[in-house]
Amino acid sequence: MVINENVLDMIGNTPMVDVSRLSPNPNVRIVAKLESQNPFGSVKDRIARQMIEAAEKDGRLHPGQTIIEPSSGNTGIAMAAIAQMKGYPIKILMPTSVSIERRQMLEVFGAELILTPGEEGSNGAVRRAQQMAAEHPEWCFLYQYANDANPRAHYEGTGPEIWRDCPEITH
């Protein structure tokens, strides 16, 4: 058995499974990538690590600096877990309509939750995060919705893994 030194090294290289029998067409092959096998349970583990590490590399994120991010769940959970491991305080803004289970996961990873009105949805959390980031320029606002590191995680990670594991892919 391989014992990993760092859970962050376990993000990515997720397994794939043939799910072709789910199709009514017997002449197709369908393969699913099991991103839920990432350490924090979703595909968002990849983008959270990529955004945090990119911000560290380019100097926007410094040791001990607070991260702020709006999220309805998976991105926030992954960011909170990674922030905790790297020693960053993190504030996650989310609507009150988000499930108690997601809130509890964020609290397990040490996130400070800032709840916004549920009727405003995710857009309300985004607006409040933007406002708070403007009021606190000393914080690092990664902003998943406009962060180039977000899609780059898949361009540099998920995509090449799929090509490596399924070289016969045509489309």
Determine which one of 33, 44, 86, 91 is catalytic: 44
Identify residue 99 by its one-letter amino acid code: S
CA–CA dist 102, 107 (Å, integer): 9
DSSP SS3 for 112: strand
Is 86 an active-site residue?
A: no
Q: How far apart are CA 76 and CA 140, in angstroms?
A: 14
Instruction: Give the residue carrying structure tokens 């902003």.
Output: 143
Pairing type for strands 16-18 and 31-33 reads: antiparallel
**Which residues form the catalytic set?**
44
